[in-house]
Amino acid sequence: MYLYGASGHSKVIIDILKEHYIKVKAVLDDAPKGDSIYDVPVMQASQKNLVPSDTLIVSIGNNAVRKKIAEQLSVQFYTAIHPSAVVSSKTIIGKGTVVMPNAVINAFSEIGNHCIVNSGAIVEHDCVLENYVHVSPGAALAGAVQVGEGSQIGIGACVIQGVTIGKWVTVGAGAVIIDNVPDYAVVVGNPGKIVKYNEPS
C-alpha cells in the first residue's frame, strides 16, 4: 500500500489503514517537506516507479489536485473505511474513496471514486455523490441529495432532502442549503446564497 500526498489528510488515512492492519510502505509526494509521517517513509514521487499491481490511495484533500493525480496514475486504488463508520450494506462506494471515523452512509446511497466522507459526516439514504466530492466533518446531507463532481460541502453544512448541488461547487462552513445549486457556485449562509462562482478549469 502506498499513499500519494504527504499532508494532514494522509495522517488520518494511515490511522484508518492501521485499524485494518494494513501497512503503508511509503507516502509519495511531489515536494516532500519531511522524511516520515507516523514512522512511514516519505519519498519523492518521481523516485518510485509505480506499476499497475501497486495499491494506492491519493491522500490529498484538495479535490481538483486529487483528480489530477488520480488521472495520472495507473494503479489499483484502495477504498478505506474506518471501523467506526456506519455504512449500509446497500451502499455503493467507489475506488479510492475514504470514509472517516464516525461517518454515516445510509441505504441506497452511491459514493463515487476518490471521494472523502469526513469525520462525523452524514450521507442519508438515496444520495448520489459523484467523483472527487468532499463532505467535510460534521456536514449532513438529507435523503436523495445529489452532489456533482468535485464539489466541497463545508464543515457543519446541512443540505435538505432532494436538493441537487452542481459540479465543483463550494458550500461554506455551516451553510444551510434549501435550493438547488448551479455548477461552480460558492454558497454561504443560512439560507445559502450564492456569493460568487469558481473559475472552471
Active-site residues: which are they? 125
- Answer whether 4's CB lies under 8 Å from 28's CB: yes
Q: What is the rounded distance in angstroms from the CA atom of residue 123 to the CA atom of residue 102?
A: 12
Strand partners, 43: 28
Which residue from 126, 124, 128 is spatially nearest to 115, judged by alpha carbons? 128
Q: What is the rounded distance in angstroms from the CA atom of residue 29 to the CA atom of residue 16?
A: 20
Per-residue b or e along 101-139, where b marks 16 or more CB atoms closer than 10 Å to that residue's CB: bbbbbbeebbbbbbbbbbbbbbbbbbbbbbbbbbbbbbb
Q: What is the rounded distance in angstroms from the CA atom of residue 134 to the CA atom of residue 15?
A: 19
The C-alpha cell 499532508 sits at: 7
